[in-house]
Amino acid sequence: MNEPIKTDVLIIGAGPCGLFAVFELGLLDMKAHLVDILDKIGGQCAELYPEKPIYDIPGVPFTTAHGLVDALMAQIKPFGPTFHLQEMVETIEKVGDPLFRVKTDQGKLFEAKVVLIAAGGGSFQPKRPPIPGIEAYEEKSVFYSVRKMEAFRDQRILIVGGGDSALDWTLNLAPIASHLTLLHRREQFRAAPDSVNKMMALAGEGKIDFVLGQVSALEGEGGRIAKAIVKRNDGSDFHIACDALLPFFGLTMKLGPVADWGIELKDGELIPVDTAAFESSVPGIFAIGDINWYPGKLKLILCGFHEAALAAQKAYHYVFPDKRLVFQYTTSSSSLQKKLGVR
């Protein structure tokens, strides 16, 4: 069996909350390793909406999801976290008080005094629309997320859906598409009203088409779409010529192995925590970000940042049981500034 990698804290998930936890732990001298199923750092920000704007990060009036991940990486650099990407944490075994042995699907073993679960919604997967044969077009001309907007320049784009992703990508891609159609099955939207108003304005100016109906079939060759057959609500058919189809039918958050870690769950999918330290029902296992639940929980990045700060305070007592924790500001503490490499 492999020798375990020993660390103070093992963070499961390298989304924004897992990344910021490295910073809060690092200020308190705790070293972290992070494991993530994805091949990249940044969680939902990197996988689902890298180029979309974010306006509600405190003190940052505007950034993109990609920009936020880059900034977090710069912020945690002084603490030298180690990333283990494309590995899924499969098991957590309690072997001490507290000491955990954590194993990934690639056979890697960790021994950590504290486990911090920042696993978001687990392994998230886009919902596939019920269109026969759509698999043959996936990742060639059917995409469930937009990694690089430029890849869609001058294309005829068909976006399907009525939620935030469908509306946001309609607004973002309209200026670079040669033609863009938004297709939704009804006139009511789940998206933010402001986005709906902006989309309607574009449609009113003739810059995009907004059409009611549902895709019933695709035609094309070698994975390249030529047209989508659309069924109107009255049952009649027509087609929309397109080069790319972007269906946004929401995500299935597959919790994955989290459910088997012996931690109490709420509704089978969220980890209830206390709001003093964001610790789970198992002492030494913390949960922050989208994966946790407590009364009033909001799935916002800024909430996960706060949770990381408080979890680190309690984690300190498990990692350094004999030490006293002194509260300090980065503004005025020379010892914190040394750790940050700015003094």
Ligand X SMILES: Cc1cc2nc3c(=O)[nH]c(=O)nc-3n(C[C@H](O)[C@H](O)[C@H](O)COP(=O)(O)OP(=O)(O)OC[C@H]3O[C@@H](n4cnc5c(N)ncnc54)[C@H](O)[C@@H]3O)c2cc1C
Binding residues for ligand X, rule: CB under 6 A, are 12-18, 35-38, 43-45, 48-49, 54, 56, 88-89, 118-123, 164-165, 256-257, 289-290, 299-302, 304
CA distance 12 to 319: 17
Question: 22 vs 240, which CB is nearer to ligand X?
Answer: 22
- Please, are residues 123 and 256 in contact by the beta-carbon 8 Å criterion? yes
Q: Given the complex with ligand X, which of 15 and 213 has the nearer CB atom?
A: 15
CB of 87 or CB of 229, closer to ligand X:
87
**Rounded to the nearest whole angstrom, what is the least distance from the CB of residue 48 to ligand X in the complex?**
5
Q: How far is the CB of 56 from ligand X (least distance, A)?
A: 5
3-class DSSP assignment, residue 299: coil
Sequence-ordered strand ranges (E) for the chain: 5-12, 32-36, 53-54, 63-64, 82-85, 89-96, 99-104, 109-117, 123-126, 156-160, 179-184, 209-212, 214-221, 224-231, 237-241, 244-247, 251-254, 271-272, 285-287, 292-293
DSSP string, 304-323: HHHHHHHHHHHHHHHHSTTS
Nearest-approach distance from CB 260 to ligand X, in angstroms: 10
At closest approach, how far in Å is the CB of 291 from ligand X? 6
Give the nearest distance from C-beta 343 to ligand X in angstroms.
30
Cα Rg for the chain, rounded, in angstroms? 23
User: Which CB atom, from 294 or from 320, has the smaller least distance to ligand X?
Assistant: 294
Would you call 49 exposed, middle or buried from its count of C-beta atoms within 10 A (0-12, 13-18, 19+)?
Answer: buried
Pick between residue 39 and residue 322 the one whose CB is nearest to ligand X: 39
The nearest distance, CB 161 to ligand X, in angstroms, is: 12
Report the residue number, 85 or 276, with the smaller CB distance to ligand X: 85
Name the nearest CA neighbour of 300 among 70, 114, 105, 45: 45
> What long-range pairs does 6-9 form, CB within 8 A, spacing at least 24?
6/110, 6/111, 6/112, 7/31, 7/32, 7/33, 7/82, 7/110, 7/111, 7/112, 8/32, 8/112, 8/113, 8/114, 8/315, 8/319, 9/33, 9/112, 9/113, 9/114, 9/115, 9/116, 9/315, 9/319
* Shortest reach from residue 195's CB to ligand X, in Å: 11
Tokens of 192: 């933010």
- Judged by beta carbon, residue 49 or residue 318, the one nearer ligand X is 49
Nearer to ligand X (CB atom), residue 88 or residue 217: 88
CB of 101 to ligand X, least distance (A): 15
